[in-house]
Amino acid sequence: MCQRFAKDQSGITATEFGLIAPVFILLLMGTLDMGHTLYMQSVLQGVVQKTARDATLESSSEAAKQAELDAMVTNNVLNLAKNATVTISRRYFKDFTKAAQSVAEPFTDTNGNGICDAGEPYQDNNNNSSWDKDGGDAGQGGAKDAVLYTADVSYPRLFPMHGLMGLPATAEVQATTVLANQPYGDQAQYGAATLRNCA
């Protein structure tokens, strides 16, 4: 009788499936989550490129128009992840070289923390009365300025099993582009650099 049970293989498929199914489902969820993140990155980069091009026109120098363009980026993201957080920033530089270098304004780091603070002296190259870690200014700038347009997006992952896959609870993607404003006027120039103290 024991030999009959030993040779009976009915139900072995169900047992094998029970062993393999959790791993397969976890792999499938991870693949779908990764695919969604890549798709989000692609859509975000595309809409950021389009928005940045529209923002370089003279008609887009007004705050209301910029807010409208930013809302377009946010709406495209929310179509893919309804509970996403979208943060958009604009930094402008006098040329593409300065935008690419992103060099901090020179300062004396007396406390060694790498940040201009606690009354440390710095050279305000763009005369905006604040130390800039990338040497740029906040906003869209003016004619011929190179604008670094950045959109940061974070949203909860699609599946609650992210911990089993070793992934953080939120997915984060970023898209950036640098474009020059149209030459609709003379480019404003900075005056001589001013020495100031950090707050």
- The residue with greater pLDDT, 68 or 18, is 68
What average pLDDT does the segment 39-54 reach? 95
Count of alpha carbons within 13 angstroms of residue 155, beta-carbon side: 21
Q: Give the pLDDT confidence score for residue 12 in this predicted structure.
A: 76
Residue 191 backbone zone (phi > 0: left; psi -120 to 50: alpha; other: beta)? beta
Tens digit of each residue's pLDDT (9 = 90 or more) over 48-60: 999 999 999 888 8
> What's the structural domain count of the chain?
1
Has residue 3 been placed in a domain? no
Highest-pLDDT range among 107-116, 132-141, 147-156, 161-170: 147-156
Q: Give the pLDDT confidence score for residue 149 in this predicted structure.
A: 95
> Which structural domain, as residue segments, surrounds residue 157?
11-197
Has residue 98 been placed in a domain? yes
Has residue 6 been placed in a domain? no
* Contact call for residues 190 and 94 (beta carbons, < 8 A): yes
Q: Give the pLDDT confidence score for residue 21 in this predicted structure.
A: 86
Q: Give the pLDDT confidence score for residue 71 in this predicted structure.
A: 96
Tens digit of each residue's pLDDT (9 = 90 or more) over 93-127: 988 888 888 888 899 898 989 889 988 899 988 88
Mean pLDDT across the chain: 88
Q: How far apart are CA 13 and CA 86, in angstroms?
A: 48
Q: Give the pLDDT confidence score for residue 86 in this predicted structure.
A: 97
Has residue 1 been placed in a domain? no
